[in-house]
Amino acid sequence: MISWMQKHKKYLVVTIWISTVAFVAAGMIGWGQYNFSLAGGSVAKVGQISISQEELAREHKQLLDIYSQSIPNFKDLSEKEIKALGLEHNALNVLINQALLKNFALDLGLGVSDSEIVAEIQKSELFQRDGHFDEGLYKKLLQENNFRPAAFEDNVKNTLLLKKIASLFPQAITPLEQESFMLPLSLQDRVRIEVLEPKEIPLKEESLRVYYNDHKQDYKKPTSYTLVSVQVTPKETPKESDLKSYFNKHKEQYTLQGKPQEFSKVEKQVRQDYNSDRAKEQALKDYLALKKGQLKAESETFTTLPYGEDINKKIESMRVGEVLKPLPYKEGWVVLKLVAKNASALESFAEARAKIVQILQIEAQIKELKKEALQKLPTFKGSDIGLLNLDFKGNIHDLGKKPSKALVDYIFKHPYQEGFALLEGPRAVLYKVYAQDFKHQVKNTAYLQQMVQNLKAQALDGALIAMLKQRYKITLYARSHP
């Protein structure tokens, strides 16, 4: 915890994990929807340990802080979207799992002394000046981050206690455990294959029409938008006197390093701004006239909107009859009114036919490839493609890298000496494994060893939490939402 805080000094978020994150996630309890605004200040009791409203609020805030730092644009989420993440219930689960472990520690006679808590806090560089613990700095940082010293020290105590429990369980992996995990990864197969290519299958027109009638709702035309568009662009060449008058009214806009500029040096920009403002004034008049039905203009229907991403998004969310206020467009402004919107028009059979042919052709080819593969499998010889292993990243017989990887994965996932795999295209590949060994040199062994250790820790953590849930009663002081 202390080392995590040192990396995140700005937020001083205290997180309590043990061994792996599994102690937080293992055996998550689905409590449903509850309101934790309770009399007495307790939200739950686990064995002898009560969980207070303050603890839940603090843990909830810590999870929010962690999410806000690790998820891009988290702060842009609405309150409803954040609530949907279920962080309050996750926070409660964290506290329940910790309480289970505290009960276990009590039964084992484990504890944490005040001197251990003090030593843990004092060794943190976060609270040190010139290499020595500074009590004033300690209190200041806690105050800035809305932590009472007693609550923070209780967190440190919990962390130390959980570390003591974790130390009771083996962290290292045994040679047998490592070998059991690594052995399948070192397996390599020597394989023969034969690639079956698809043939064109004649399709009956009647079958195409039957398919269309059964699936016509899948063939919708793109949404169409019928719009009245009024574009306003500067037309007149302004007089110099008008430009100077405009410049004098807006001098604060024309500065360089905080100093006002002379008209002659910014005349081009003034002209652009003047023209844009005049055009906007006219666009606002057109907007009001269009909104009141006083402006007659021709409409046009689009399935592909032409106005650019930002304006197109606004159009897509418009209601029929709505008029958008003037928006910058090209060299001027545009005012738009949505006259009609059709999102339910279906393609005719003729319009959908080519897509239906493609779907039914692939289905028919897959059926024929399966039949051909089953016929050839007992006697096929194929060509030797060498050794395959789970790390394979090449291109087999010009299948392409992705289909080649799919073939290798299929062979290793299915415990058959021979068979066939259907790949994209479609294509079928007959295969026969005629030799095996465990001589493949596994890469990233350090990473894999850490993975084995994490999996072992996760299994132990999960088993421990499951056992403790049977041993200690969990009571929630909460009422369901109506």
Cis peptide before 234 (omega within 30 of 0): no
The CA-to-CA distance between both ends of the chain, in Å, stands at 39
Q: What is the CATH number of the domain that holds 119?
A: 1.10.4030.10
Residue 219 near residue 348 (C-beta atoms within 8 A): no
One domain, residues 74 and 160: yes
Place of tokens 């999410």: 67
Based on the fold, state whether residues 158 and 193 are members of the same structural domain.
no
Spell out the alpha helix ranges (H) of 123-262. Answer: 135-144, 149-166, 175-182, 205-215, 240-249
Return the pLDDT at 281.
83
φ/ψ of 156, rounded to 5, equals -60, -40
Q: Assess if residue 453 is contained within a domain.
A: no
Spell out the residues 6+ positions from residue 349 whose beta carbon is closer than 8 angstroms to its own: 208, 209, 212
Phi, psi of 276 (to 5 degrees): -65, -45
Query: Is there a single domain that holds both residue 45 and residue 82?
Result: yes
If residue 62 lies in a helix (H) or strand (E), which one and from where to where?
helix 53-70
- Half-sphere exposure of residue 325, counting CA atoms within 13 Å on the CB side? 2
354 and 255 in one domain? no
Residue 29 phi, psi dihedral angles, 5° rounding: -100, 125
Q: Say if CB 436 and CB 372 are below 8 A apart.
A: no
Question: Which residues are CB-neighbours of 161 under 8 A, at least 6 positions away?
Answer: 101, 102, 105, 110, 111, 112
Among 309, 342, 375, where does a domain finish?
Answer: 342
- CA–CA separation, 38 vs 69, rounded Å? 30
Assigned domain for 209 exists: no
Apex 367 CA angle, 366 and 372, nearest 5: 95
Q: Is residue 213 part of a domain?
A: no
- Evaluate whether residue 454 is within a structural domain: no
Q: Answer whether 397's CB lies under 8 Å from 373's CB.
A: no
Domain range for residue 270? 221-342
- Crossing angle of the two packed helices 87-108 and 445-471, in degrees rounded to 10: 80
Is 449 inside any structural domain?
no
Number of domains within the chain:
3
Query: Collapsing DSSP states into helix, strand and coil, what is residue 317?
Result: coil
- pLDDT averaged over consecutive 10-residue blocks of the chain (482 residues)? 34 31 33 38 88 87 83 76 85 90 88 89 87 87 83 86 80 70 77 93 94 92 90 79 77 73 76 81 88 87 90 90 90 90 89 94 95 93 88 87 92 89 93 86 72 75 87 77 41
Rounded Cα distance between 97 and 286, Å, is: 65
Helices (H) and strands (E) in the chain, counts: 16, 17
Cα gap 218→234, rounded to integer Å: 46
Kindly tell me the burial class for residue 482, based on how many C-beta atoms sit within 10 Å of its own C-beta (0-12, 13-18, 19 or more): exposed
The model carries a pTM of 0.50
For residues 354 and 338, state if they share a domain: no
Task: Give the Cα-Cα-Cα angle 473, 476, 481 (nearest 5 degrees).
Answer: 150
Q: Are residues 8 and 157 in the same domain?
A: yes
In this predicted structure, what is the pLDDT of residue 447? 67
Q: Which of 161, 160, 155, 49 is nearest to 110 (CA)?
A: 161
Are both 29 and 122 inside the same structural domain? Answer: yes
**Domain assignment present for 306:** yes
Locus of tokens 């800035």 = 144
119 and 247 inside one domain: no
3-state secondary structure of 393: coil
Q: Is residue 334 domain-shared with residue 415, that is, in the same domain?
A: no
Q: Is residue 379 part of a domain?
A: yes
Q: Are residue 375 and residue 282 in the same domain, yes or no?
A: no
Is 178 part of a structural domain of the chain? no
- Same-domain pairing of 87 and 118: yes
Domain boundary among 342, 362, 386: 342
Check whether residue 147 and residue 16 sit in a common domain.
Answer: yes
Last residue of a domain, one of 310, 342, 374: 342
368, 198 contact by CB (below 8 A): yes
C-beta of residue 380 within 8 angstroms of C-beta of residue 430: yes
Query: Which residues lie below 8 Å from residue 84, measured CB to CB, with a gap of 6+?
Result: none
CATH of the domain at 315: 3.10.50
